[in-house]
Each structure stands twice: as C-alpha cells, then as structure tokens.
Amino acid sequence: MVVHVTQETYADTLSIFRNPEKQVSAHYVVRSSDGHVAQCVREADIAWHAGNWDYNTRSIGIEHEGWVDRPEYFTNALYEQSARLTAAICATYGIPKDRAHIIAHHEVPGSDHTDPGPLWDWTRYIRLVNFV
C-alpha cells in the first residue's frame, strides 16, 4: 500500500487521472472535506502511482486530497475513511497493517516525491487502520 497526497484538489486530481496523456493514476482518491472515496483503477489492474514499475505492479495507491504543507486538508473524515479503505484492502489481501507494508510515496525506491509529508500523522493513521 502506498499513501500519497495529491498536491491538487480532489476534482483536479480526478481530471488528471482521466487524461491518458498525463500517464498517472492511483487506485483510489480520498476527498478531504467528507472522506468520500473514488475508485479510479480496479485493484486487479496496475495504476501508475509509485514512480517505480515494480512497486506499481504489486501495490495499491491511495491518493489523499491536499498538499504536504497544508495540514488543514488532513481532516478527521479523510483519515477515518482512508483508514477504513486501507484496513479492508489489508484484510482482503492478507497485508499486515503496519508501516512496513503501508508506506509513504517518498519511501518508494527512486521516488523524487515528498508526500505525504511530515505533517501526515502516521501514528494516528496506523492506529485507525488497526482499529476498524
């Protein structure tokens, strides 16, 4: 599982993912205001989210609306709905619910991204993933 932050609005992210010329996608996008989840790529299909082909082929990418330096986008609804989604995916595929298996985009080898950034609350997120 790879956790991302969009660096765009929810609507703009969906628009970018619909444009094949952009050559980017993720399996899911979570909206900040209410935690609404949009599925953009089937889990069985490869999304172009990690910037590393090996990771793309064996991970699920979850984008979160917001910017790495704007913590107001990391709402309770966003954390809670994303954690529910992550927990369900982990249960479906037998993925351990820990930081070794739920990683940040910047932790993908070869990544030049910084998301989800230092303001993402990993302790809270992993606790929520394990709670639901």
- Taking a C-beta distance cutoff of 8 angstroms, is the pair 95, 119 a contact? no
Catalytic-residue membership of 72 = no
- Out of 21, 63, 65, 72, pick the active-site residue: 63
As a whole number of angstroms, the distance between CA 82 and CA 87 comes to 8
N-term to C-term CA, the chain: 17
Q: Can you list the pairs that 11-18 forms with residues at least 24 positions away whose Cβ atoms lie under 8 Å?
A: 13/63, 13/65, 14/38, 14/40
Enumerate the active-site residues: 63
